[in-house]
Amino acid sequence: MKNTLKWTALLLFISVAGCDKKEKQAKAPNPVLFKNQLKALEQAKHVEGVIQNSAEEQRKTIEDNANSQAQ
């Protein structure tokens, strides 16, 4: 019986402590920072495309050289 009372009191305390009326609302992120992050993401995607194209050209060159040496 004593344990049940202790657990009930503990759960009541936790639930009351979690329901603070003065909850702080999260501030919206700074729009300038968000724009900078989007710009960086776009630049990274562009660089990735350039690297992919370069790798594809290099693959084709290697294959062409291998095919011409094989003949």
The pLDDT of residue 30 is: 76
pLDDT at 63: 93
pLDDT digits (tens, 9 = 90+) for 14-60: 777 666 666 666 777 778 778 888 999 999 999 999 999 999 999 99
Whether pTM > 0.75 for this model: the answer is no
Q: How far apart are CA 16 and CA 27, in angstroms?
A: 25
Instruction: Give the phi and the psi of residue 51 in degrees, each rounded to 5.
Output: -65, -40
Specify the pLDDT at position 14: 78
With tokens 């990274």, the residue in question is: 44
Q: Is the pLDDT of residue 7 over 90?
A: no
Q: How far apart are CA 18 and CA 45, in angstroms?
A: 43
